Amino acid sequence: MASEILVPVDGSPLSERALSVALEEHPESTIRLLHVIDPTEPGYSYVSLGVDAYDSPRHGSDEWYDRADAYAAELFEAARETAADYDADLATETRVGRPDREIVRYIEETDVDHVILGSHGRDRESQTLVGGVAEAVVFRSPVRVTLVK
């Protein structure tokens, strides 16, 4: 049975792996990618966008958001290249806000049946079993969630 699967992407190796798992294990499903731009995380613009803190636009400025949108487009393009290996199409969306809240909101507003996401995002230095965003999504999601490690 075909289903709608959400794969939140943040550019981390585990989010890339989550996409591969979704494509491999659910070839008949519609795969939706969601990237959340987090304006509350000061490091987002440096880590995600790969820019030097001294050369970066002011956090929250129009230029900062333009770079964030460009980064999301790069993530989606790389994901489309991966999906092409599986002869699959992807639906994509970018939202702005706290990632855990926006992911759950997206699930509630769409026909998503299943979420596949990395157990940790960009910050993997933590020794915790599950990252904060993944933990919040697991506990608040109204649909099944698979964590990829």
Exposure string of 17-37, with b = 16+ CB inside 10 Å and e = fewer, is ebbbbbbeebeebbbbbbbbb
Question: Residue 127: its pLDDT value, please?
Answer: 45
Q: Mean pLDDT lowest for which of 30-39, 61-70, 131-140?
A: 61-70
**φ/ψ (deg, to 5) at 146:** -110, 125
Positions of E strands within 60-123: 90-96, 114-118
Quickly tell me which residue has 């880590």 as its tokens.
47
Predicted confidence (pLDDT) per residue in 11-38, tens digit: 999 999 999 999 999 999 999 999 999 9
Tokens of 144: 């099944």
**φ/ψ (deg, to 5) at 148:** -105, 130
> 4-148: which CATH architecture?
3-Layer(aba) Sandwich (3.40)
pLDDT bucket at 120, cuts 50 / 70 / 90:
confident
